[in-house]
Amino acid sequence: MTENKSSARRTVTKAAQALASTTGAASEQRLPIRKTYKLYIGGAFPRSESGRSYVVHDAKGGFLANAALASRKDARDAVVAARKAFGGWSGRTAYNRGQVLYRVAEVMEGRRGQFAEEVQASEGVSRRGAYAAVDASVDRLVWYAGWADKIAQVVGGANAVAGPYFNFSSPEPTGVVAVVAPQESSLLGLVSVLAPVIVAGNTAVLVTSHQRPLPAIAFSEVLATSDVPGGVVNVLTGSAAEIGPWLASHMDVNAIDLSGVDDAGLATSLEEAAAGNLKRVVRPSADGAADWTADPTIDRITAFLETKTVWHPVGI
Amino acid sequence: MTLQTQQDSAGLADATSSNEALRRFLHGLPGVDQVGAEARAAQLATRSIKTTAKQFAIDLAIRMVDLTTLEGQDTPGKVRAICAKAMRPDPSDAGAPPVAAVCVYGDMAAVAKQALRDSGVHVACVATAFPSGRSALPVKLADTRNAVAAGADEIDMVIDRGAFLSGRYLQVFEEIVAVREACGDAHLKVIFETGELQTYDNVRRASWLAMMAGGHFIKTSTGKTQPAATLPVTLVMLEAVRDFRAMTGQMVGVKPAGGIKTTKDAIKYLVMVNEVAGAAWLDPDCFRFGASTLLNDLLMQRTKISTGYYAGPDYFTLD
């Protein structure tokens, strides 16, 4: 009886060892998953309408992933989605928008490891540096989220007038904003240009860093799983030189942020195209190397605000 | 088609001699292959129309639009605004052609006529207890005569779906004949409300019924119920007008209405018209779009082609 039992146990152990060694061998030979990412438009993840994609390399030149190469028609669809989302997003209370941005920061915090890995691979920084960039990005989101229900008090208010009227100025979002994200700082730069656009109630069409789009793609996955309504942020991976002119000349885009346009000639031509319907334009920093780690100011929020002033009779 | 046995106008006259004969004729029409019709419509919708062909299609589609406002809250002011837009859809570009007609309720016909005058844009009026069609025949005829007297060039009538669905085909037939008579010189469009007809077979039967009764146009929907116009339904109707011409030599027009909102949709319909009915139908006299928001999208696409950059809705009228 005892013998039988022990022999049975032995057999089980052997089987377990065999199993372990098979899976061990399998994991050594496991095929790499060569990911092909898609765009983020209107809350969905479509392929590029053009069917194109391009290879994203890590900082050492190795294969990292494939990313969709957005075309002008993707940009067009993104603008339609952003316009559709604008009414709902700008109509929310400022407090609610702040809460939604906090939520984005929370979800991002939960994916800290993934972001750090992608920043490290994309930018070739140290592990410590990558984590610092991710933490700074989360903190920046929180910082901007706090401004959602405070910006109106700072840049708007009651004006003194010589008459029996109240006179109020209040900031209002300008509409659909096209954003060319910084090319070098793939996550901190991205968050630093995107958060101020949407916190005020604008909706955004974002062109990511061409060489380093992975953190932006992960960020779009964060947006999709937090409470940001579809279409508020639309993420296009691809070339600013290709899509930029279509966005700059688009009559249904109200502002354009050129922070990520490194080529001075391109920036000038985009600014000229943007004049067609008097878009608000944020120029890239003069020396071409913005320091995204520096403390932010509210300038990026106010760049995409319009001031509405109303007169109202006193009393009755 | 296996219509050989019934193929002559005399046969058609016999078919309408009694409800029984009409029923026999309509139910003798070959059944519609639902899967086939839907697949054919979907396949035609994949065709890519670019550059000069697209330009041609956009201008043609603009000329085919029946610019429609059928709201209880319509005012003379809104109708005049629509008329101004109908005559000159794009104020910034004189090259944009005018639309085919303005479609309004009967009480607005006089206002529309006065605004449009001899611009060539027609006044189309819905009549006969639109949109349900549930009223006594004398009331429907009076409705029609009023609209014509007020200046309507085209009458959009609705069929009595209750009578049609319960098999009283002769009643529907005689109503269309009577309304056609009340129209005088005005053209008659017969609305089926295909969303309520349940099957493609019924759409085919209604098409033949309306064509035999003398309708100048057959129209899918009122735009007041869902689903409105769809590609397969329009395909069935286009087949019917094609076969009717083969048999009698008469051209009957088709008008899909409701739910056609984008240039892309409109071009899909035009491809289908060309492929199913034939190029002869690519004309505002034979094909129309019942639409309101479609026009702005056509104009935006037109502007995109002429300027080279994407247009925005801020620069076109709200309606």
pLDDT band at B2; cut points 50, 70, 90:
very low
Do the Cβ atoms of A250 and B310 come within 8 Å? yes
Alpha-carbon gap: B260 to the closest alpha carbon of chain A (Å) = 18
Spell out which residues of chain B touch residue A76, defining contact as CB-CB under 8 Å: 310
Q: Is A79 on the interface with B (CB under 8 A)?
A: yes
Task: Please give the residue of chain A at the shortest CA–CA distance from B300.
Answer: A251
| pLDDT tens column, A192-208 | 999 999 999 999 999 99
Across chain A, what does the average pLDDT equal? 92
Alpha-carbon gap: B5 to the closest alpha carbon of chain A (Å) = 50
With tokens 């920093």, the residue in question is A285
- Rounded CA gap, B47 and B264, in Å? 11
Task: Please give the residue of chain B at the shortest CA–CA distance from A254.
Answer: B312
CATH numbers and ranges of domains, chain B: 33-306 (3.20.20.70)
Residues 94-123 of A with CB under 8 A from B: none
What number is the average pLDDT over the span A150-166? 94
- The CATH class of A53-313 is alpha beta
Residues 178-237 of A with CB under 8 A from B: none
pTM recorded for the entire structure? 0.89
| pLDDT tens column, B151-165 | 999 999 999 999 999
What number is the average pLDDT over the span A137-143? 98
Catalytic residue ranges of B: 156, 219, 255
Residues B172 and B163 sit within 8 Å (Cβ to Cβ): yes
| Other C-beta atoms lying within 10 Å of the C-beta of residue A2 | 6
- Rounded CA gap, B58 and A54, in Å? 35
| pLDDT tens column, B90-117 | 999 999 999 999 999 999 999 999 999 9
Q: Is A276 on the interface with B (CB under 8 A)?
A: yes
- Cα A279 to Cα A79, A144, A188, A190: the distances in Å are 14, 23, 25, 21
Interface pTM (ipTM) of the complex? Answer: 0.86
Stronger pLDDT, B201 or A22, i.e. the higher one: B201
pLDDT at B11: 75
Strand order in the sheet with A255-257: A233-236, A203-207, A176-180, A255-257, A280-282
Q: Does residue B150 carry a pLDDT above 80?
A: yes
Question: Which of these, B124, B123, B186, B135, lies nearest to B159 by C-alpha position?
Answer: B135
Question: Which of these, B71, B173, B187, B175, lies nearest to B131 by C-alpha position?
Answer: B71
- Facing B311 at nearest CB: one of A246, A251, A273: A251
pLDDT at A289: 72
